[in-house]
């Protein structure tokens, strides 16, 4: 099979700077595999990967490779669409994962080793997966849409990302993430929401988080939706009710073990569906593939 005309979009800040540091060695691996012409660009800030992806697809490139973490992949995925339509119906997403979490490649069952990922960028390994689409309120109050490949959630996750975005970058990404997560863990106040799944509303409840997933994990391996499959046409939904510190400590081993769906806690509900609508009278932040784009209501 002929190789796709390919463009690489590299986030130089991914994985605490791995994007920039590792790119020369990635180029060498591509050259060893006789990949052909290597077209690429580094991103310059938030949202740039989306703009770049749209531009290169319009200019005839058939595969766009996201080189970075789950957030970079998320931005590139959204660049495949314009006005709700694919920019190029014959296009393909490639992934070279350099982030801290790498949750999407876990869902795809890919090796975290770059050498192995490079081998998959030859055109014969394409597969179809589902994408989620979420509509929400942006910070300026406008209705916006975006796509997600892995996980979207309302509540605690959005608060973690908000804190992470405001954390001093001089301390490094790992410290920033841990500090943000711990701050949210102890300071976040649960919110009252109404969740509707495939047209059936659940009772209004105070919740810690509502997680709507295509993949199985987020946060670097927390298996929030262990039954999820990226190609089954369904979303997996985990509703975590009014959790507090003791609840978290009891549940954390199940999240890492991938058995949260078998929990007998009355505060944990696991569902599957195609359409999810979440509303609240309170200000509830969203986390979409590690990005914090806005607030509820979301559908």
164-181 mean pLDDT: 62
pLDDT in tens, 80-111: 999 889 999 889 999 998 876 678 888 888 88
Residue-wise burial string across 149-180, b where 16 or more C-beta atoms lie within 10 A, e elsewhere: bbbbbbbbbbbbbbbbeebeeeeebeebbeeb
| Assigned token pair, 255 | 């999240």
User: pLDDT tens-digit profile of 276-292?
Assistant: 999 999 999 999 998 88
178 pLDDT band (50/70/90 cuts)?
low
Look at residue 259 and tell me whether its pLDDT is greater than 60: yes
- The confidence band for 209, taking pLDDT boundaries of 50, 70 and 90, is very high
Whether the predicted pLDDT of 213 surpasses 80: yes
pLDDT at 124 over 70: no
Taking all residues of the chain, what is their mean pLDDT, rounded to a whole number? 87
Q: Does position 161 have pLDDT exceeding 90, yes or no?
A: no
Give Cα separations from 173 to 14, 44, 75, 297 (angstroms): 9, 18, 19, 30
pLDDT in tens, 265-277: 888 999 999 999 9
Out of 8-17, 31-40, 247-256, least confident range = 247-256
CB 149 within 8 A of CB 131: yes
The pLDDT value given to residue 125? 72
pTM check: above 0.95: no
Q: Which residue has the higher pLDDT, 85 or 253?
A: 85
Average pLDDT of the segment spanning 145-151: 95
What confidence tier does 175 reach under pLDDT thresholds 50, 70, 90? low
Closest CA to 118 of 229, 26, 233: 26
pLDDT value at residue 1: 38
């Amino acid at each position: 099979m002929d190789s796709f005309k390919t463009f690489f979009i590299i986030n130089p800040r991914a994985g605490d700077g791995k994007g920039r540091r590792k790119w020369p060695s990635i180029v060498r691996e591509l050259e060893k595999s006789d990949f052909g012409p290597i077209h690429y660009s580094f991103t310059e800030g938030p949202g740039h990967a989306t703009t770049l992806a749209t531009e290169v697809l319009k200019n005839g490139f058939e595969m766009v490779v996201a080189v970075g973490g789950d957030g970079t992949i998320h931005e590139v995925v959204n660049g495949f669409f314009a006005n709700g339509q694919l920019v190029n119906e014959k296009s393909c997403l490639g992934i070279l994962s350099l982030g801290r979490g790498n949750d999407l490649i876990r869902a795809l069952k890919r090796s975290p080793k770059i050498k192995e990922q490079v081998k998959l960028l030859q055109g014969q390994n394409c597969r179809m997966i589902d994408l989620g689409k979420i509509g929400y309120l942006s910070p300026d109050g406008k209705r916006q849409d975006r796509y997600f490949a892995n996980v979207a959630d309302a509540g605690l996750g959005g608060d973690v990302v908000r804190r992470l975005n405001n954390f001093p970058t001089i301390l490094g990404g790992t410290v920033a993430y841990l500090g943000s997560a711990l701050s949210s863990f102890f300071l976040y106040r649960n919110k009252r929401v109404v969740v509707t799944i495939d047209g059936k509303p659940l009772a209004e409840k105070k919740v810690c988080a509502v997680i709507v997933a295509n993949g199985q994990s987020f946060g670097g391996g927390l298996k929030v939706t262990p039954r999820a499959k990226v190609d089954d046409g369904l979303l997996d939904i985990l509703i975590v009710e009014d959790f507090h510190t003791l609840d978290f400590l009891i549940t954390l081993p199940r999240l890492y073990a991938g058995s949260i769906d078998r929990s007998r806690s009355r505060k944990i509900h696991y569902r599957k569906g195609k359409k999810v609508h979440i509303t609240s009278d309170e200000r509830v932040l969203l986390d979409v593939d590690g990005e914090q784009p806005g607030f509820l209501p979301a559908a």
